[in-house]
Amino acid sequence: MQTKPFGKSGPQASVIGQGTWYLDRGDRRSAISALQRGIDAGMTHIDTAEMYGDAELVIADAIAGRRDELFLVSKVLPSNASRRGTITACERSLKRLKTDRLDCYLLHWRGSYPLADTVAAFDELIAAGKIRSWGVSNFDAEDLDELLDVAGAGKIACNQVLYHLQERAIEHAVIPWCERHGVAVVAYSPFGHNDFPSPSSKAGAVLQGIAQARKATPRQVALSFLTRLRSVLAIPKASSPEHAAENAAAGDLTLSDGELAALDKAFPRGPKPRSLPML
């Protein structure tokens, strides 16, 4: 499994991690097995959030006795992101995850609380040893400019954003901004939201052809394409051990320049949207 730095001077994290949105809505035993199979295969970067229902509780069971192997991330809701509320939310997530620290803690999206208050809470949590770093999710380049003014250089570890073959808006401004400032980009919903390209479509046929030529699956090829850029990591979700193993194998797949060009043509990024797409 390839790794990439999480932030300008942060630790290495697996380029393919494990997302956990809706993880609590299926079979709990299967979800735990999927997470554990993923960890065994090198997907030690696990992402969750207080918004994800009981996902933190499922993760706690899956990682028991293995915390030191992991890069563990959770998120605070904007409605809780006051200075005191951020600290309380983090402590609640730590309790649910049965751990004493997070490797990174994110503001889930911008809300009504001043960024300065949330950043002050993050700094306080770092000083207390409860988080090792902090970042954001669903921030456009203009939001990142404002955050940089508040926090100063070298503080923002990552920006977690929507990114998949059919939604490449972040390539216009967000990825270039993050690469200039040493901020990791974490792609959530890297297969789309129930709309992964069908092999019967023109673009899907290109994806299928590359997968067959490389003895890989279309989803592995998609993950390899998204993580081709030096700043980008991805966090697909798997609901079964077999899907987890499939996702993990993408961490060692490197596409050729020709294959990347073919996918770029089949799935054009399109014009820059007025606002950042998000789920």
Which residues belong to the active site? Answer: 52
Q: Where are the alpha helices (DSSP H) in the chain?
A: 28-40, 55-62, 83-97, 115-127, 141-151, 174-181, 202-213, 218-226, 241-249, 257-266
Give the distance from CA 22 to its chain's centroid: 15
Rg over CA atoms, the chain: 18
Q: Please give the Cα distance from 236 to 33 (Å, whole number).
A: 15
Contact predicate 183/211, CB 8 Å: no
The β-bridge partners of 71 are 45
- Amino acid code (one letter) for 153: A
- Amino acid code (one letter) for 118: T
The β-bridge partners of 14 are 3
59 burial level (CB within 10 Å; 0-12, 13-18, 19+): buried
